[in-house]
Structure 1
């Protein structure tokens, strides 16, 4: 989604805080399997500092996106809006983050659709396996009318969807053996997001899907709670 659309969302949420600047650049992005959402808490009142959080570390592409967004917003608002970034699950897991958006204790967030789908079910269409042929097709859908219509559904949950960002296609990793065919998943315990579509898909393949929050994933792998997990390599 273009930076102009994101800026428009800021103006609507915080009237007068952000003014146009002709030196704008495009900030296009998309999410493919584990689509991420950039959201505003609708009840938030006008303020100079906005809390922006996500579960990934600052060294990830999430951190790069947040830094670029922070620089853009602070420049376009002539310093009237400040973005305070809280990475690495500092303000909770993704479910807690979405609930905090609704309560207004967090102002902005990047989260996966797998968790957001528990609040806005329409988003779960993006999690259907093999939905998109390639990145080009995914971008066309997310940046098109379908993507905009689904973002509009967030307002009923007191959240404003500003756009999509790229998180890469999913990859399966595990500590047991290579997975080259569906039968290789038989009996394998695989960490999945809190998402009925993901759970059903892995169950159909013969695996034992186990929902675990992202901040707890590495410990679960180290302790042998799960054999593997599916996430983008990025």
Structure 2
């Protein structure tokens, strides 16, 4: 929201008592527009001209990210993803951009597919590390993200990015071992990520943790019991 404000998308006003009603309405409008993938420049042009917003949305951003993966330098790729993370909510970036691109890369069989996927993985891990380090400094809510099962190497880091953007200080256990890890007492929340089901042993560990009153939850696309 601070970036939206500096970009002129939120009305000016005093902050002694927080956002006023006009600013809150501006925020709701911009949130809806960015959720569709509109860029801040497109939104500002619409505001200034009074014409309806025209945007190619997430499709254009996916194309730009794929171009960076193919032709951009490591620095340019990192800068592009960092800018996207500043302009949009972490939920929208991960669910509407990074996860779809990840799926596309996983299924790509053309020349250079392995190189593009490797670059994407490096960029995602780097971005997750940067966000989790900054959240520790800002004193956000401590959360432990544990990989119970994964379909690919990127999904646990994408979830870390999403959670860090929601105000959590995320520590990640990315290695799947089927053995419960020791959680620090400082972590107020424990998320068990299930990308490809959960074993009977880890399911029991989850149930026991719930019975003990711990703040733990299963998360991910596949929380079914596997053998």
Could you state the TM-score of these two structures normalised by the residue count of structure 2? 0.28
Could you state the TM-score of these two structures normalised by the residue count of structure 1? 0.27
Using CA pairs below 8 Å that are at least 6 residues apart, which structure has the higher relative contact order? 1
The answer to which structure has the higher strand fraction is 1
The answer to which structure has the higher helix fraction is 2
